[in-house]
Amino acid sequence: MKSVPKATIYLDIRNPLENKKFPVTLRIYFQKKAKFYRIRGKLNEVPGFTQKEFDSIYSRKATTQYKNYKKTFDAAEEKANDIIKKIDFFSFDIFKEKFFSSETVFKESNNIFLYLEVAINESRKNSKFGTASIYNTTKVHLEKFYKKKVLIFHEITPKFLNRFEKWLLTDQGIKSVNTIGIYMRSVRVIYNQAISDKIVDTAYYPFGKSKYQIPKLNKKTLKALTKDEVRLIDQYETENRTLQWVRDIWIFSYLSNGMNIADIVRIESEMIMESSFEFVRKKTKDTAKSNLKSINVAMQPRMVEIIERWGNPTSEKYLFPIIDESMDEEMIDLKIRNLNNLVTKKIKEIAKDCNIEKEVTAVFARHSFATILRDSGASIEYIGEALGHNNITTTMHYLAKFDTGVVKKWSLELL
């Protein structure tokens, strides 16, 4: 008869912890051989139990905390057996790799702070540092608001979330509905994960109609610069080297199909040809599994000037001296965010000096590229291809409203 691997929860009384209690392990038995894998909680701590405590976890009269432990252990056992079923030729090494590759930490308790910490760590591991930052900020605010180390999911009620929102607005001085919405959506994502892990029942779900509703994003009317306003920025004169750099990198972004900072930073010297260069957006690489869309950028004399002024020697890997090969993804992400912040801050100064009455930011370069092309007669299909979009709907979101001059021009064609 063929030997079938089996996973069970086991209290390992052979190897007591420093506190004299025993670790809970996942026991994998196969071909008369057993291996034990400790179940961790609190991100990396091995929770210990006496035999009596362990038995209480599986008692009908178990406390809420013990019931939560049982849910954690049951989830680990179920996950292990599911993995075993999917392994064609079982070995302990293959099981260990598959079991711990997806998530090495099991949530031992009904605690959103632990879940948020796991989300932070996993986002960083996957080089999603912006997402990690959002989860971390959400966690910091929640901890400051709640003032306790453990916040169980059952306590996150519509009333709790409304009080948290009010606290963010009043005590923390966060006036942006968009920012509060970002924090609340992070809480919702984590809550959904806890439901998936069977830590909390859907009956307690606090979001939705007649419950707590996350503030909707305030979708401001997108603004773009006119061609004349772009020229004012391009021709802006200053002795300040920082402002010169910001002016030129913003113009380079505009001329490079509205290329964002994250992609400019990653341009490699060997990509630049005499008349054009191609690139795939970092955002596309992170989300698309196949058929990565390459964007073709026509080289213009002004772009060549900017490269000659600020670019690295051709022997260097990257076109601009912002990142180098010694940096890991976390450092690169930090450099990108710092440059984005610098460009957004300083381009406002430049716009103000040019008497442009708009709150210009780094992303204005992308919206201006798209809108000016449209107003110049380019088709939406062409603009979408130039931006690297897969559908016209996405492209439409990038376009500002027609300005008064364009509206008047086309109205004259009516009669």
C-alpha triplet 170, 174, 177: angle, nearest 5°: 110
Residues 394 and 286 in one domain: yes
> Please, what's the b/e burial string for 171-202 (b: 16 or more CB within 10 A of its CB; e: otherwise)?
eeebeeeeebbbbbbbbbbbbebbeebebbee
DSSP-derived 3-state class of residue 360: coil
Closest CA to 363 of 249, 238, 260: 260
| DSSP one-letter code for 412 | G
Residues 273 and 383 in one domain: yes
Residues 249 and 158 in one domain: no
Residue 56 falls inside a structural domain: yes
CA 254/CA 363 separation, integer angstroms: 9
Q: What pTM value is reported for the model? A: 0.62
CA 11/CA 47 separation, integer angstroms: 11
Residues 193 and 290 in one domain: no
Residue 220 falls inside a structural domain: no
C-alpha triplet 89, 93, 94: angle, nearest 5°: 45
In this predicted structure, what is the pLDDT of residue 104? 40
Residue 209 falls inside a structural domain: no
C-alpha triplet 58, 28, 73: angle, nearest 5°: 30
Average pLDDT, the chain: 85
Q: Which residues contact 48 (CB under 8 A, 6 or more apart)?
A: 16, 17, 19, 21, 22, 23
Residue 212 falls inside a structural domain: no
* Tokens (6 digits) for 224: 């773009």
User: Residue 345 sits in a domain of what CATH number?
Assistant: 1.10.443.10
CA 49/CA 208 separation, integer angstroms: 39
CA 343/CA 244 separation, integer angstroms: 11
In this predicted structure, what is the pLDDT of residue 292? 74
Q: Which residue has the tokens 């970092």?
A: 282
Domain end residue (candidates: 65, 83, 102):
102
Residue 301 falls inside a structural domain: yes
In this predicted structure, what is the pLDDT of residue 407? 58
Domain end residue (candidates: 155, 170, 204):
204
* Tokens (6 digits) for 364: 């204005």
Report, in this order, helix, strand and coil percent for the chain, each rounded to 5. Answer: 55, 10, 35
Residue 316 falls inside a structural domain: yes
Q: Answer yes or no: are the C-beta atoms of 369 and 354 closer than 8 Å.
A: no
Residue 98 falls inside a structural domain: yes
Residues 277 and 404 in one domain: yes
CA 48/CA 19 separation, integer angstroms: 8
Domain end residue (candidates: 80, 102, 124):
102
Residues 171 and 281 in one domain: no
In this predicted structure, what is the pLDDT of residue 107? 45
CA 81/CA 1 separation, integer angstroms: 19
| Strand pairing class (33-38; 6-11) | unpaired
> Please, what's the b/e burial string for 127-140 (b: 16 or more CB within 10 A of its CB; e: otherwise)?
ebbebbebbbebbe
In this predicted structure, what is the pLDDT of residue 411? 57
In this predicted structure, what is the pLDDT of residue 263? 93
Q: How many CA atoms lie within 13 A of 327 on its CB side?
A: 17
Residues 84 and 155 in one domain: no
Closest CA to 207 of 217, 222, 192: 192
Residues 374 and 401 in one domain: yes
Q: Answer yes or no: are the C-beta atoms of 168 and 183 closer than 8 Å.
A: yes
φ/ψ of 28, rounded to 5, equals: -105, 120
Residues 73 and 129 in one domain: no
| DSSP one-letter code for 190 | H
Q: 126 is in which domain, residue-wise?
A: 112-204
| Number of domain units in the chain | 3
C-alpha triplet 111, 112, 118: angle, nearest 5°: 105
Residue 282 falls inside a structural domain: yes
* Tokens (6 digits) for 195: 């439901």
In this predicted structure, what is the pLDDT of residue 290? 62
pLDDT under 70: residue ranges of the chain: 1-2, 40-46, 101-109, 217-222, 286-291, 398, 400-415
CA 346/CA 362 separation, integer angstroms: 9
Residues 290 and 197 in one domain: no
DSSP-derived 3-state class of residue 151: coil
In this predicted structure, what is the pLDDT of residue 138? 95
Residues 391 and 262 in one domain: yes
Residues 197 and 81 in one domain: no
Closest CA to 107 of 61, 157, 152, 139: 152
CA distances from 238 to 246, 264, 343 (A): 11, 23, 16
CA 415/CA 410 separation, integer angstroms: 10
CA 60/CA 168 separation, integer angstroms: 41
